[in-house]
């Protein structure tokens, strides 16, 4: 029964999705959009599970003092600080005790984490008590201080300058740095791919040279030939190969979908 | 000197009639334009003819397709038609309103009038309601225009079947039949040959290598959601890999990008450990969520690769710009790497940086190869037959397109998918 109900659901909704492609009627569209909304709803619940998984793995790393465990402390701090920024915003002209309150909250949560990771029960109890005390202080400050407030149902927190600053001045540059690495990796990968070891890799090397040199203005009369050659390479053999792969992918998608719908393929439910 | 002055004087005198001719022409041209513009503004153009409006076929309703023959003064005659305006009303006698934000340029002879399906919208266009259409042929002065006769009433309605997609339906049914036939044959014990794939055969060796080295296996499901076929195919491979990993008692690490994928992957790995009879060895934290930020995920996985130095890295699923960063880092860490994706742009990166790569559909076929179950092999064979049929159809298409002729044209039309 534990397996049959999910299979029945997969069959019913999967079959509907197949028919929906051929039925343009408004009713069909409405059901389709309604079902897509469910994906978003399930995603939100799953995100909570994801955050819990992230928290647990990070705490375990700290607890076991795994290699590079301080990174997990930074990850957890980033998680809680951004959640705090995202749900709070300044109400007055000054920040008041906003940042001290944040520090107290972070310290409190840190003490709870220590209590969880501590092996000695007496130290664990002490950490938990200190953590609880810090949380109480944080609650008192947040009640007394009117210069900032919590916003759980509106988007004020997302406009919080601290939230925006942390995202724009820390997250985006780090992401850009990671993406920039791609340029160097492309160079190393290209070097490996274009080594003329045999006939096929030599052909690949020549084709790559033609495509790379097509925009070179210093080749004089040869540049036109290079451009034509590159266009031919991109639009004929390259496109033919790509289309062959696309047709294969299309058929593979249909075949896999049918296997899932008919219950032939069940591994995604943890049953081989 | 006198000769020089005489020459300049003669040149000046010679230029006078030319300059008069040039300036005179300019003036004439300018006055001609004004006259022409005046006449354009004052003369009514011929109206459009043969106006028709029909319910747009094969759609969800709330839409009409309006066609007409252009005005005689559009491109010919007085040449004074610059725009067309599509007007609609629910009353043939009054309150016609312009449809669309912009007027249509001259030469236009068709317009698809898509109204909103949402009742709260200003542009809501109700189905099963009478509407009337009129087309205005407009001159340079938007107040000077000729209106066509009124066409209507006409009603829009949603369709229950998109006839333009019939070839797809037929193809799916044929494919389904082929798959069922080969699955049935496989169940009866028919010997179905499938060509070996190096990437699949390497999976067993890679797991064995990890076991011998006492190092973990890193399995990456990609950036796709659980609703994507590439991810579903990846789940299938993960299931087989996890089962072998459980049998060999090797460590498995599965960092996930999507929380839904993580929950499914946890269940799959746990079930595989149960199937292998080693449920006690299953560790929930071996399948964990990292982040939904693309490059933060890459940073985390790269860090894991360089810290844990896995013996084998497997990249199966949907990958984007991160593919090469992951695969190159894995190569630097000295891991055996097997990849598979249906993202065409990323396949070359994997081919270069990984030891084995499953290209496109091979990713979907991997489960059948790994499992060797007759039913799965049957479906794979059905897929191969469908591919053969497509190759035959492509050859027929190329031949008929080059031969030409109305009959062959009609034959090709049978395969055309509209909308």
With beta carbons less than 8 A apart as the criterion, state whether B374 and B238 touch: no
From chain B, the residues in CB contact with A42 under 8 A are: 260
Q: Is the pLDDT of residue A22 over 90?
A: yes
The reply to whether B49-154 and B192-372 are identical in fold is no
* Mean pLDDT of all residues in A135-148: 91
For residue B350, what is the nearest residue in chain A, using CA coordinates?
Answer: A189
Please state which of the ranges B29-33, B62-66, B301-305, B317-321 shows the lowest mean pLDDT.
B29-33
**Residue B266: pLDDT over 90:** yes
- Was domain B49-154 assigned CATH 3.40.50.1460? no
Residue pLDDT, tens place only, A210-244: 988 887 878 777 888 888 899 999 999 999 999 98
Among A77-86, B104-113, B174-183, the range scoring the smallest mean pLDDT is: B174-183
The model's confidence at residue A136, banded by pLDDT at 50, 70 and 90, is very high
Contact assignment for A251 to B328 by CB distance below 8 Å: no
CA-atom Rg of chain A in angstroms: 29
Instruction: Indicate whether A135 pLDDT > 60.
Output: yes
Yes or no: say if B272 and A272 are a contact pair by the CB < 8 Å rule.
yes
E strands within chain A? Answer: 88-90, 148-150
User: Cβ contact (<8 Å) for B260 and A247?
Assistant: no
Measured from the Cβ of residue B284, the count of other Cβ atoms closer than 10 Å reads: 12
Q: Residue A270's pLDDT is what?
A: 65
What is residue B257's predicted lDDT score, i.e. its pLDDT?
95
- For residue B276, what is the nearest residue in chain A, using CA coordinates? A272
B258 contacts: CB under 8 Å, gap ≥ 6: A46, A50, B221, B223, B224, B225, B226, B292
- Output B235 or B38, whichever has higher pLDDT: B235
Task: Report residue A119's pLDDT band, with 50, 70 and 90 as the boundaries.
Answer: confident
Residue ranges per structural domain of chain B? 49-154, 163-180+377-413, 192-372
Weakest-pLDDT range from A208-217, B6-15, B172-181, B393-402:
B6-15
- Give me the pLDDT at residue B250, please: 92
Cα(B264)–Cα(B275) distance, integer angstroms: 16
Q: Do A54 and B227 touch (CB under 8 A)?
A: no
* A63 has a pLDDT exceeding 90: no
Question: Residue B347: its chain A contacts at CB < 8 A?
Answer: 245
Q: Quick one: pLDDT band at residue A271, thresholds 50, 70, 90? A: low
The pTM of this model reads 0.81
Mean pLDDT of chain B, nearest integer: 85
Whether residue B361 and residue A182 make contact (CB cut-off 8 A), yes or no, is: no
pLDDT at A113 over 90: no
For B192-372, CATH gives 3.40.50
The answer to whether residue B25 scores a pLDDT higher than 50 is no
Looking at residue B29, what is its pLDDT?
38
Contact B165 A22 (CB under 8 A): yes
- Residue A253: its chain B contacts at CB < 8 A? 229, 342, 364
Question: Which tokens go with B418?
Answer: 């509209």
- Do the chains contact at B352 and A192, CB–CB below 8 Å? yes
- Give every CB contact of residue B82 below 8 A, 6+ residues apart in sequence: B105, B106, B138, B139, B140
pLDDT at residue number B339: 95
C-alpha–C-alpha distance, residues B366 and B219, integer Å: 15
Domain layout of chain A by residue ranges? 1-66, 68-179, 194-269
CB pair distance less than 8 Å for A258 and B364: no
C-alpha A74/C-alpha B305 separation (Å) is: 19
Residues 108-137 of A with CB under 8 A from B: none
DSSP letter (8 states) at residue A133: H
Asked if A189 reaches chain B (Cβ–Cβ under 8 Å), the answer is yes
pLDDT band per the 50, 70, 90 thresholds, residue B40: very low
What pLDDT digit, counting tens, does each position of B198-230 carry?
888 888 889 999 999 999 999 999 999 988 999
- Give me the mean pLDDT over the B346-354 stretch: 92
ipTM of the complex in this document: 0.88
Percent of chain A with pLDDT over 90: 40
What would you report as the CA-atom Rg of chain B, rounded to the nearest whole angstrom? Answer: 35
**Would you state the pLDDT for residue B17?**
47
Please count the residue pairs, one from chain A and one from chain B, whose beta carbons lie less than 8 angstroms apart: 206
- Residue among B259, B265, B374, B397 with most chain A CBs within 10 A, to mutate: B259
Whether the CB of A35 is below 8 Å from some CB of chain B: the reply is no
Q: What is the pLDDT of residue A262?
A: 82
Indicate yes or no: CB of B390 within 8 angstroms of CB of A247. yes
B-facing residues of A in 62-91 (CB < 8 A) are 67-68, 71
Give the tens place of pLDDT for each residue, A9-19.
889 999 999 99
Average pLDDT over residues A162-168: 92
Reply yes or no on whether the pLDDT at B32 is more than 70: no
Sign of torsion over alpha carbons B124, B125, B129, B131: positive
φ and ψ at residue B221, rounded to 5 degrees = -90, 0
């Amino acid at each position: 029964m534990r397996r049959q109900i999910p299979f029945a659901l997969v069959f019913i909704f999967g079959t509907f999705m197949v028919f929906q492609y051929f039925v343009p009627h408004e009713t069909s569209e409405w059901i389709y959009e309604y079902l897509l909304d469910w994906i978003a709803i399930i995603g939100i619940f799953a995100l909570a599970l994801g955050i819990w998984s992230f928290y647990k793995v990070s705490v375990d790393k700290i607890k076991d003092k795994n290699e590079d465990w301080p990174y997990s402390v930074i990850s957890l701090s980033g998680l809680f600080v951004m959640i705090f920024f995202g749900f709070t915003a300044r109400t007055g002209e000054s920040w008041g005790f906003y940042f001290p309150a944040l520090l107290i909250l972070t310290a409190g949560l840190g003490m709870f984490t220590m209590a969880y990771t501590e092996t000695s029960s007496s130290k664990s109890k002490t950490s938990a008590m200190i953590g609880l005390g810090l949380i109480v202080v944080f609650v008192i400050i947040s009640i007394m201080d009117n210069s900032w407030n919590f916003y759980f149902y509106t988007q004020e927190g997302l406009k919080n300058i601290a939230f925006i600053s942390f995202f724009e001045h820390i997250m985006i540059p780090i992401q850009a740095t990671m993406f920039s690495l791609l340029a160097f990796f492309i160079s190393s990968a290209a070097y490996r791919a274009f080594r003329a070891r045999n006939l096929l890799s030599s052909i690949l090397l020549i084709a790559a040279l033609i495509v790379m040199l097509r925009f070179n203005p210093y080749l004089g009369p040869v540049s036109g030939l290079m451009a034509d050659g590159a266009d031919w390479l991109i639009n004929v053999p390259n496109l033919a190969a790509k289309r062959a792969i696309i047709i294969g992918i299309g058929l593979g998608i249909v075949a896999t979908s049918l296997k899932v719908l008919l219950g032939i393929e069940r591994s995604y439910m943890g049953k081989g | 000197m006198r000769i020089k002055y005489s020459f300049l004087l003669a040149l000046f005198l010679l230029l006078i009639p030319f300059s008069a001719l040039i300036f005179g022409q300019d003036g004439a041209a300018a006055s001609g334009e004004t006259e022409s513009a005046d006449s354009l503004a004052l003369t009514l153009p011929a109206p459009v003819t043969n106006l028709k409006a029909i319910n747009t076929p094969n759609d969800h309703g709330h839409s009409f397709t309006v066609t007409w023959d252009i005005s005689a003064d559009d491109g010919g005659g007085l040449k004074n038609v610059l725009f067309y305006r599509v007007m609609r009303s629910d009353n043939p006698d009054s309150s016609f309103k312009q449809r669309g934000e912009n007027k249509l340029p001259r030469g236009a002879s068709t317009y698809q009038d898509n109204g909103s399906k949402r009742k709260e919208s200003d542009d809501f266009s109700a189905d099963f309601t009478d509407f009337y259409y009129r087309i205005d042929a407009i001159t340079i002065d938007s107040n000077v225009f000729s209106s066509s006769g009124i066409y209507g009433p006409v009603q829009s309605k949603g369709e229950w079947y998109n006839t333009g997609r019939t070839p797809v339906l037929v193809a799916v049914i044929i494919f389904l039949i082929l798959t069922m036939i080969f699955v049935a044959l496989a169940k009866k014990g028919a010997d179905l040959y499938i060509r070996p794939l190096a990437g699949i055969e390497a999976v067993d060796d890679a797991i064995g290598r990890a076991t011998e080295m006492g190092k973990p296996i890193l399995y990456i499901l990609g950036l796709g959601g659980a609703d994507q076929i590439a991810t579903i195919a990846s789940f299938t491979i993960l299931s087989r890999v996890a089962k072998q990993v459980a049998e060999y008692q090797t460590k498995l690490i599965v960092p996930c990008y999507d929380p839904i994928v993580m929950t499914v992957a946890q269940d799959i790995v746990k079930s595989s450990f149960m199937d292998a009879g080693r449920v006690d060895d299953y560790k929930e934290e071996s399948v964990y969520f990292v982040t939904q930020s693309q490059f933060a995920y890459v940073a985390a996985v790269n860090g894991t690769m360089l810290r844990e130095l896995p013996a084998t890295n497997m990249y199966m699923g949907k990958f984007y710009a991160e593919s090469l960063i992951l695969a190159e880092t894995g190569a630097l860490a000295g891991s055996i790497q097997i990849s598979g994706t249906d993202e065409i742009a990323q396949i070359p990166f994997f081919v270069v940086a990984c030891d084995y790569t499953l290209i496109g559909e091979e990713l979907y076929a991997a489960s059948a190869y790994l499992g060797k179950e007759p039913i799965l092999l049957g479906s794979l064979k059905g897929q191969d037959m469908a591919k053969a049929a497509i190759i035959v159809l492509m050859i027929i298409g190329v031949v008929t397109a080059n031969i030409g002729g109305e009959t062959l044209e009609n034959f090709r039309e049978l395969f055309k998918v509209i909308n």
